Structure 1
Amino acid sequence: MTQSSFITLQNASKSFADTVIFKHVQAQLSKGEILSIVGPSGSGKTTLLRCLSGLEPFSAGDFIIDNQNVTKLTANKRPVSLVFQQALLFPHMTILDNVAYGLTFQHVKKKERAKQAQELIDKVGLKGYEKSFPHELSGGQQQRISLARSLAISPDLILLDEPFSSLDPQLRHEMRDWVRKLLKSQQMTAIFVTHDREEAMQMGDRVGVFNDGSFQQIGTPQDVYQRPVNPFVATFFSDCLVLDDHKYVPVSHLFISNNTSNDAHLQLEAIVQNQVFIHGETFYQLWVASMNKRITLPSSLSLHEGANVTVMANAEAVQLFPEDEIKE
């Protein structure tokens, strides 16, 4: 667990009728920390975010922000902002009015609203667009304004629900770096939801791998990647070949051979599917039929598509999963 907990989620559960979406969820964040929640579609990530924002009530558990239990507070009473996948700006309002909108409910005077909104527009790099309307901005610019609008009310916690999913790959990479720097500069505590492993690792100080309605593992991106605690985390988040419920081999410990060997601890037949070049190095994508899995390994061998090869690992490469543990 983190020290000096600013955000605490205790035994949080959510059900719709007889359908359990998530159960007994526990998490803590320090002030200014960013937690990435990553998991497959349908795992309950977005519903968890909606409950944190107050758009849906928790079925059980407690949600505490800065020592205040906000579980029963409605969305407009919580010190929480939610940034959606789409910017959802008001099309009939100028950019300045969009950013200032939330301040009207905090009884901030008009002149002060405009001043604060202008400062945020400047911070997100869109000075000069104050009088523009949303349709005049690009997708990335609209998402910046959506973030500025969320920051305007000075929330204790900002939630981001796959905010870059509709952007093209290049802009998506740029926005990740930009948003993280902005959140850190503002010392904002944030929860970032995605199904993209790379995005989760880039955005979060810690990563929570979410599946089947619960956190499978929480830790630094490096720790979760290098030391997965169960087969799901090893398969979904790390690059591992899961041998069974107890053992796995990191892909980095595997190598390709044209021959079998009596010295290798693990030997698996594979078929070369194709060749790829990454940062000037040659990699081969292989299909391991016995594991029903495709893996990508580097090799200096000259291999052709359809070739039969052997994937090997030494005994020391085999790792054990810890038993029934959520690592934090």
Structure 2
Amino acid sequence: MTDAFIHLQHAAKSFAEKPIFQELNLSLPKGDILSIVGPSGSGKTTLLRCLAGLEPFSKGSFSINNQNVTKLTANKRPVSLVFQQALLFPHMTISENVAYGLSFKRINKKERKEKAAHFLERVGLEAYAACYPHELSGGQQQRVSLARSLAISPELLLLDEPFSSLDPKLRHEMRDWVRKLLKTQGITAIFVTHDREEAMQMGDSVGVFQEGAFQQIGTPKQVYHSPANPFVANFFSDCLVLDEDTYIPVQQLYMSKNNNREKTSHQYEATVQNQVFIHGETFYQVWIDALHKRLTLPSSLSLSEGEPVTLLADSEQVRTFSSEPEKE
């Protein structure tokens, strides 16, 4: 990793003596995007609010570009936060919304208007400058929110599930569009989500967050193919977790009908729950009662709901959580 642009050391946060996270350490190079992914209630949003200065850290230090910003209030940090909802001012035009943050930087009205026009052009909404928020679609409103955040020239951009209220097609388009914009502009960003696909698409690296701690940080490929522990395997990867130490990647399992069973080292009885299609390919969701686990596997077999099947794998396909990450 190159010299850290974002550096978080021994950070902790508690509410009324209830710890949300403790002893967090994080480094991020300039221009990189980190996706933080984890279940609801794991502390992701609280961490983002602390980084933005909306909540104080209970302990630790936070620096951006070698400047310690731990004690700075939100309006004095070189940080901008994009929320789940666009949160635009309904009585202001789109141009006025984008220029709003600049009014706190002692910039005259003419220059604020020029900057707003510039950033609206960057997000492809220059034709809507005189419109009001209710006249825009959800995706357009989020682009305005992003333009407003970029207008104050943040050194760090934080995004808290900004696409969660969008329909699936628009959500996918916005992910691609925002990532390209951030990489083109060389903006360092932290993107919070609970969606695995979104985390992989947005981030140069992924941090799997649970119970106030990073369970694993690495490239999307590393975290997916070499999970560090059972939680990461179950939440982020596609694995059959056998115990606290071992797992079988779902790609190494294959299904057989019970009347055509083959002999292998590992066999697991399962029941077909339903059939799904992903990008035109046939997958089956099966339930393994002995392991209390549901898996989704590709198969060319013709199977029906409730049909018993056997999942098969050889011993060499079993991996341990201490395995070295797969090389890029």
State whether structure 2 residue 15 is matched by structure 1 residue 16: yes
What is the rounded CA distance, in whole Å, between the counterparts of 2:171 and 2:280 in structure 1? 24
Q: Which residue of 1 aligns with 2:264?
A: 264
Deviation, 1:61, is: 0.5
Deviation, 1:279, is: 3.0
Deviation digits for residues 209-240 of structure 1 (CA, Å, limit 9, x no counterpart): 00010100000000000000000000000001
Q: Which residue of 1 aligns with 2:243?
A: 244
Q: Which residue of 1 aligns with 2:33?
A: 34
Q: Which residue of 2 aligns with 1:306?
A: 306
Deviation digits for residues 138-183 of structure 1 (CA, Å, limit 9, x no counterpart): 1111100000000001000010000000111110000000000111
Give 3-state SS (helix, strand or coil) of 2:128's partner.
coil
Q: Which residue of 2 aligns with 1:178?
A: 177
Amino acid aligned to 1:31 = K
Deviation, 1:74, is: 0.5
Structure 1, unpaired ranges of 5+: none
What is the rounded CA distance, in whole Å, between the counterparts of 1:274 and 1:194 in structure 2? 27
| Matched residues, number | 323
Deviation, 1:321, is: 0.8
Deviating beyond 6 angstroms after TM superposition, the runs of 4 or more aligned structure 1 residues are none
- After TM superposition, list the pairs within 5 Å mapping 1:314-325 onto structure 2: 314-322=314-322
Q: Which residue of 1 aligns with 2:95?
A: 96
Amino acid aligned to 1:91 = P
Deviation, 1:262, is: 7.1
- After TM superposition, list the pairs within 5 Å mapping 1:60-71 onto structure 2: 60-71=59-70
Q: Which residue of 2 aligns with 1:288?
A: 288
Q: Which residue of 2 aligns with 1:221?
A: 220
Q: Which residue of 1 aligns with 2:50?
A: 51
Q: Which residue of 2 aligns with 1:120?
A: 119
What is the rounded CA distance, in whole Å, between the counterparts of 2:238 and 2:76 in structure 1? 42
Give 3-state SS (helix, strand or coil) of 1:73's partner.
coil
Deviation, 1:307, is: 1.1
State whether structure 2 residue 149 is matched by structure 1 residue 160: no
Q: Which residue of 1 aligns with 2:207?
A: 208
Is the Cα–Cα contact under 8 Å of residues 261 and 310 in structure 2 kept in the other structure? no
What is the rounded CA distance, in whole Å, between the counterparts of 1:123 and 1:217 in structure 2? 35
Amino acid aligned to 2:189 = A
Q: Which residue of 2 aligns with 1:75?
A: 74
Amino acid aligned to 1:128 = A
Q: Which residue of 2 aligns with 1:232?
A: 231
Moved more, 239-248 or 270-279: 270-279
Q: Which residue of 2 aligns with 1:107?
A: 106
Amino acid aligned to 1:315 = S
What is the rounded CA distance, in whole Å, between the counterparts of 1:307 and 1:233 in structure 2? 30
Judged with a 3 Å threshold, the aligned counterparts in structure 2 of structure 1 residues 280 and 96 are, in CA distance, closer, same or farther, namely closer
Q: Which residue of 2 aligns with 1:129?
A: 128
Amino acid aligned to 2:219 = T
Q: Which residue of 1 aligns with 2:277?
A: 277
Deviation, 1:299, is: 1.7
TM-score w.r.t. the length of structure 2 is: 0.96
Give 3-state SS (helix, strand or coil) of 1:172's partner.
helix
What is the rounded CA distance, in whole Å, between the counterparts of 1:87 and 1:41 in structure 2? 20
Report sequence identity in percent: 69
RMSD: 1.3
What is the rounded CA distance, in whole Å, between the counterparts of 1:141 and 1:226 in structure 2? 36
Deviation, 1:274, is: 1.7
Give 3-state SS (helix, strand or coil) of 1:4's partner.
coil
What is the rounded CA distance, in whole Å, between the counterparts of 2:148 and 2:219 in structure 1? 29
Amino acid aligned to 1:246 = D
Structure 2, unpaired ranges of 5+: none
Moved more, 280-289 or 146-155: 280-289
Give 3-state SS (helix, strand or coil) of 2:126's partner.
coil
